[in-house]
Structure 1
């Protein structure tokens, strides 16, 4: 279907206030009541009704006892005007004046599996308290696909180890993270500490994610001609705690995830016995939403929650 071209010159002749007046008269059924609703005097509203009649070539409303009833054409025009004003009120003015407590927006967040368990619970609590009618929609994120997902509008914001992006992308660093060893408390009964030697002697459970941050350890070891003895690999970070509870093995994980999993599942965290460069966790968004008040609020909420993480 061919899209109808907008006649901007003709629309420029219409005063939006006339549509407001038309809708008020239609909903009140009286010029007097409509004038009170609009907080203007009756003569001003009568003048606007005269302009409307001239514009549309129809009486629009006729007297019916103490009130006014729409003509057949007036009823059609009033219905259309009401729909236009509702769209302006809901879709345009809500963008200009964003209210977290009233918004019903859906905020689409792209986030990798391991960060979801750390960042999302406090973020969801914050959003539920500040924006109870909004919805937080989560999308699985791989760092190399983050900007494509933003470009396609699949997500509003990406959080992760995302550093690259084009001129149409904005980025803000949230925090630096590094690595720790996650394991059961019982493991320390077999080895007193995770030393360089025991790290390579012990079996490993690996999180086989495409997220770049989770590849840094193996990339570092590969450069040193070293490798881990991996007995289980999983694409799901949330599967690690139960695996480690049942195996005398260790997992090398980002520090924030390790601390969170240890606290929630009664596991232990030990320092990594060799140096790996830290990595940055950033929030990334498309430039088209940079000045959107709702997105500014949402990005601010993410940053506030990130600052509160232990």
Structure 2
């Protein structure tokens, strides 16, 4: 017990705020501006950290301050600790969107981030101009462990069935969608309506964001005793439409994403020649954060952003 927190006793904990700002901005001037201190005071704080931790922490490279290997190792832990402290200390304070600099952390895949965040950020940009949103890659559909530990505030996932209830976790349904098939616009064999025989004769791209789960489309086909030929398996949706645009491969993907990608990747969309499952985009949050005024405010902005998106689609 005597040696507990010995490294912390060597360091003024206010310096961790400077470290976090420097790591994010890679600039003494920008970090100082965020923390409402002078650049010289920020530089002095960096010198104190270097002395206390026996490491340069940030070294100049051109016009930026790049973190050392030691700073890279420290960054995530310091960021998580500051967010948890901010959550606890700010839970009883009023939330003022116009001046808040809180950071909210989302766990998402590239698709679930695409499905919600553009509408949300567009909505809050003017209401909370200093608010920060950080997205980390979701390794599981609900990222339950990260929420329990306080490392994230929200998780975005998709579900094709009812999600099992977890103590302390609230699940909010965002919207429900289905799947369609996309091919390049001048595909030599696929035009007009797509038959099951044509579908199975072609090769496919499959997107599997979670390594511990298979493709829902392959599961549907397997129940019918049939199998498609998957030529390329990707962990992310981002590259998939552009890969399809330049090959004869097909991809079966969420309708909303397909409609957007078809505008930029010159894809032709086809109804799937079999009954595809419907999925629901879900937002998960933990009870440990629900007393935070800022958390409640952001949840309401998500609800309003989704409502506006759905209304626009109906017009």
Give the structure-2-normalised TM-score.
Answer: 0.64
Paired residues for 1:94-243 under 5 Å: 95-144=92-141, 146-161=143-158, 163-187=163-187, 190-210=190-210, 215-243=215-243
Paired residues for 1:286-297 under 5 Å: 286-297=286-297
In structure 1, the partner of 2:285 is 285
Matches of 1:132 and 1:119 in 2, distance apart? 18
Aligned pair 1:257/2:263, yes or no? no
In structure 1, the partner of 2:23 is none
Query: For structure 1, which runs of at least 5 residues remain unmatched after alignment?
Result: 4-89
Structure 1 104/290 Cα, relative in aligned 2: closer, same or farther at 3 Å?
same
Higher helix residue share? 1
The size of the alignment, in residue pairs, is 226
Query: For structure 2, which runs of at least 5 residues remain unmatched after alignment?
Result: 5-86
Give the structure-1-normalised TM-score.
Answer: 0.65
CA contact (8 A) 2:196 2:274 kept: yes
Give how far 1:117 is off.
Answer: 2.6
In structure 2, the partner of 1:246 is 246
Matches of 1:255 and 1:297 in 2, distance apart? 30
Larger radius of gyration: 1
Give how far 1:123 is off.
Answer: 2.1
Give how far 1:277 is off.
Answer: 2.4
Matches of 1:205 and 1:91 in 2, distance apart? 45
Pairwise CA RMSD: 2.8
CA contact (8 A) 1:98 1:293 kept: yes
1:195-241 CA distance string (max 9 Å, x none): 21211111111113228997221111111111111111111210112
Q: Which runs of 4+ in 1 moved over 6 A?
A: 211-214
Matches of 1:160 and 1:306 in 2, distance apart? 15
Give how far 1:126 is off.
Answer: 2.2
CA contact (8 A) 1:214 1:253 kept: no
Match of 2:252, SS state, is: strand
